[in-house]
Structure 1
Amino acid sequence: MAHSPLHYERLRLRHLRLLQLIDEHGSLRSAASALNLTQPAVSQMLKDLEFAMGVPLVDRSVRGVVLTETGLLALRRSRSGLATLDQLVRELDAGQTLSLRIGTNSALMYNIIPEALRLLEVGRSKTRFQLKTGLVGDMVEALSEGELDCYVGRLDWDQVPPRIARLLTYDPLLDTDLILICPVDHPVAGLETPRARDLVGWPWAMPSRESNNRIVLESAMRSTGAAGLTAAVEVSADPNGLINLALALGMLTCVPRVALNEHSHARDFKVLDVANLELSSIRIGFATTAELRQMPEIADLREAMLRAARTWTARTNEG
C-alpha cells in the first residue's frame, strides 16, 4: 500500500480520534456510535487513514479490530498532538495565555527549576507554567500521552519502552551524584572514615522500593558484601521529605546532591564520605516530543534549563 498525498490532505481530526476509539473499543460499530456516524462511514474513514499513511493500521477478525504495531505508533503520535490541542482549546475557552506543562522530579525543585523560571522572568512573561512532580516512569508516560509538554529529570533509556523512546528528543543538562547524609549528632557522623558496614543496623529514611536511587544504593551496598539496610520510613519521590525526616528522627538517608537547598538545614546534617561505597552518578536531562521541540516557548525553556544547569554545576565544582 503506497502513501497517498491526496488522502493525507483530506485527513481531519476525527480520523485521528478514530484510532483512539478503535483502541478503546476494539469495534468499528462502537467507534461509529461514539462519533455519531454510521459504520460504513467509519469504515471509509479508516480506509482513508490507511491510504494516507500507506500502511495497514488495524487487523480485522470476526472478533473485531485491533491496532497493528504501526497503528499503535500512529496512535501514540496522534494522542500527543490531540492532547496538546485539547489543552489549547481549554486555555482559549478560559481566556488564558499559553501554559507549559512541565513534569519533573522533586529533587530539581530546589535549584534547577527555580533558577530556570527566574531566567524566564516568570510573573512578567505571558507564558504560565504548570509543574507536576512524580516518579520517572509516570512522567515519561504522561509526556508520551500528551499530558505534559516536557520532562526535566532523570531518564534511564534502558527502562523507557521503545514505543515511547522513539517519540522523544533529549538534551543532557547535568550530572549529579547520590550522597548519604545524617544529622551532625548521629554516631556515624562522628566516624573519621566510615565504611559501608558502618551504615548497617541504623534506621534509614529511604526512597520507595521502585525508586532508581534506592536501587542504586542497595546494589552498591551488596557489592561491598555488607548486609542490607533497615528502611524504617519510606517516602516516594520527595528528597526534601527524606532530608526532613532524617533530621527530625535521627536517621540516615540518600538523596541526589542537586536536591540540597544550601539555604536550609546546611548546618544540621553531614554529608558522609564512605570509603568503599561507589554510588553511580545521575544524568539529568530535558525531554520533549519532536513536534513540541519546535515551539519557541519550549526552546526558550530548554535554553533556560541549560543555563541553570551550568550555573549549578559551576557552583558545585567551586564548593
Structure 2
Amino acid sequence: MLRSTETEPVAADQADEPALSKAVSRLRIRHFQLLDALDRLGSLRRAALELGVTQPAAVALIDDLEFAFGAPLVARGRSGTTLTPAAGAVLARGRVAVHEIATARRLVARGAQCGGHLRLGASPYLISTLVPDLLVRLRDVLPDIQTDVREGTLDTLVAELARGELDAVLSSVDHAAVLSSGASLDIVSLASEHMCVVAGRGHPLFGVARAPLDQVLLGPWVLPHAVSHLRALVDSAVFEVGAAPIVPQVECRGVSNLLLIAAASGLLTVAPHYEAGRPHWRGNISLLDDILPLNATPYVLVTRRYAAWTAELAALREQAKTVAGQLFGTGRPA
C-alpha cells in the first residue's frame, strides 16, 4: 500500500484497528526469527539449529504463529520447508519488528550519549548533492544524532526499508519500485529538478548555445541503462518529438560517470541541471538547454508508515524538504 503525503503521516486504517488478540499478544521475537530463518534456509532442522532450539520446539513456535494469525504459514514437503503466500505479510512485518527491537537495544545501550539514530538510504547522486547539506541541518536541530548513510538503487533501498534495515530512503520517485515492496510505505515529495542535454568537450556541439534537434539526436550518446529512471525520461522525450529511439554508444550507471565519460570522449548525455552546472565541470561540458522536452525529476523521501513519526524522522522530513527546495527549486533552472 502506498500513500503520498505532505503532512505528518497518520494511517487511518491503524486508528480503527481492534486490540490485539491474546494469541497475538503472546507472540515473542523468537517466533518471527524462526519464520525468517525458515524463509532463508528452507529447512526446519537448519532453522531450529540457527535459533538454538529443538525441532519440536520449532514446530511449537510455528503452531503459535498459525493459531495467532488464523492461517497456515508453513508448508513441509519432501523438498524442504516453504512459507505459504499468507506468510508473506507476517514475514515482512516480523522482520521490521526484529530490526526495530535490535535498534532500540543498541540505542538504549548507548545511554545518554545517543541523540537519536537514522539509517538513511540514498541514490549516489543525492548523496553527493542533497545529503551533505541535509546532515548539517540535521545536526543543527539534533546535535547528537548519529546517521548511517547507505548508497544504492531505489529498488534495493526500498527492499531494505521494507525489511526494517533502513529508516528512510531519498531518491527519485518510481512508484513501481516502491509498490513492489509489498509494504505499507509513505512518500513525501521534496522537490523536482530540471534535466538537460550536455555536450562533452570535443563534440561538435560543445559550446553551442542553440543546436538543431536533428543534430542533437545524431549523438553519439552515453546514457544510463534502459531500466533507469533517467533513461526513461530520455526515451519519453525522444518519443514525444517523433524521433526514433536513441541507441547510445556507451551505457553506464551514475550521473557523475555519465558526465565524466561525456567530457573525456566528446559524447552527449543528459544530467540534472544542478550537477551539470557545478564549477568542477566548467570547460569540460556545455549545456544544451531546452533541446529535448525532458520532464523534471521529482525527489522524494520514502519511509515505512507510522502512526506517529519519531523526532528523528520528523526532523529528517522537514530538513530534507528545505534543503531540496534550496538546491533544486521547482524543477526549472534559475
What is the TM-score with the length of structure 2 in the denominator?
0.80
Instruction: Give the aligned partner of residue 39 of structure 1.
Output: 55
Structure 2 stretches lacking a partner, 5+ long: 1-17
Which of 115, 119, 125 aligns to 1:107? It is 125
> Does 2:165 correspond to 1:150?
no
Which of 298, 305, 319 aligns to 2:320? It is 305
| Structure 2 CA distance for partners of 1:294 and 1:202, relative to 1, 3 Å | same
> Does 2:270 correspond to 1:254?
yes
Instruction: Give the aligned partner of residue 271 of structure 1.
Output: 287
Instruction: Give the aligned partner of residue 132 of structure 1.
Output: 150
CA distance in 2, matches of 1:292, 1:11: 22
Instruction: Give the aligned partner of residue 73 of structure 1.
Output: 89
| Structure 2 CA distance for partners of 1:292 and 1:28, relative to 1, 3 Å | farther
Give the AA of the match of 1:309.
A
Which of 176, 182, 191 aligns to 1:174? It is 191
- After the TM superposition, which of the residue ranges 297-306 and 258-267 deviates more from structure 2? 258-267
Could you list the per-position Cα deviations for residues 25-80 of structure 1 after superposition, in whole angstroms to 9, with x for gaps in the alignment? Answer: 33433332322222222222122222323433234556554222231111111112
What is the TM-score with the length of structure 1 in the denominator?
0.83
CA distance in 2, matches of 1:41, 1:192: 73
| Structure 2 CA distance for partners of 1:124 and 1:304, relative to 1, 3 Å | closer
CA distance in 2, matches of 1:242, 1:292: 41
Instruction: Give the aligned partner of residue 282 of structure 1.
Output: 297
Which of 248, 251, 254 aligns to 1:231? It is 248
Deviation of 1:155 after TM superposition, in Å, equals 2.5
CA distance in 2, matches of 1:27, 1:268: 57
> Does 2:137 correspond to 1:119?
yes
Residue identity (%): 28
Could you list the per-position Cα deviations for residues 65-123 of structure 1 after superposition, in whole angstroms to 9, with x for gaps in the alignment? Answer: 42222311111111123234445556777888444221111222343222222211269
CA distance in 1, matches of 2:307, 2:132: 22
Q: Which has the bigger relative contact order, CA under 8 A and spacing at least 6?
A: 2
| Structure 2 CA distance for partners of 1:316 and 1:46, relative to 1, 3 Å | closer
CA contact (8 A) 2:139 2:145 kept: no
Which of 141, 154, 159 aligns to 1:141? It is 159
Instruction: Give the aligned partner of residue 294 of structure 1.
Output: 309
Runs of 4+ that moved beyond 6 A: 91-96
CA distance in 2, matches of 1:123, 1:263: 30
Deviation of 1:207 after TM superposition, in Å, equals 1.9
CA distance in 2, matches of 1:62, 1:138: 33
Instruction: Give the aligned partner of residue 243 of structure 1.
Output: 259
CA contact (8 A) 2:200 2:262 kept: yes
CA contact (8 A) 1:197 1:227 kept: no
Which of 177, 196, 199 aligns to 2:216? It is 199
> Does 2:237 correspond to 1:220?
yes
Instruction: Give the aligned partner of residue 208 of structure 1.
Output: 225
CA RMSD, Structure 1 to Structure 2 (Å): 3.2
Give the AA of the match of 1:144.
A
CA contact (8 A) 1:4 1:52 kept: no
Deviation of 1:166 after TM superposition, in Å, equals 3.2
Q: How many residues in Structure 1 have an aligned counterpart in Structure 2?
A: 315
| Other structure's SS at 1:69 match | coil
| Structure 2 CA distance for partners of 1:231 and 1:292, relative to 1, 3 Å | farther
Instruction: Give the aligned partner of residue 21 of structure 1.
Output: 37
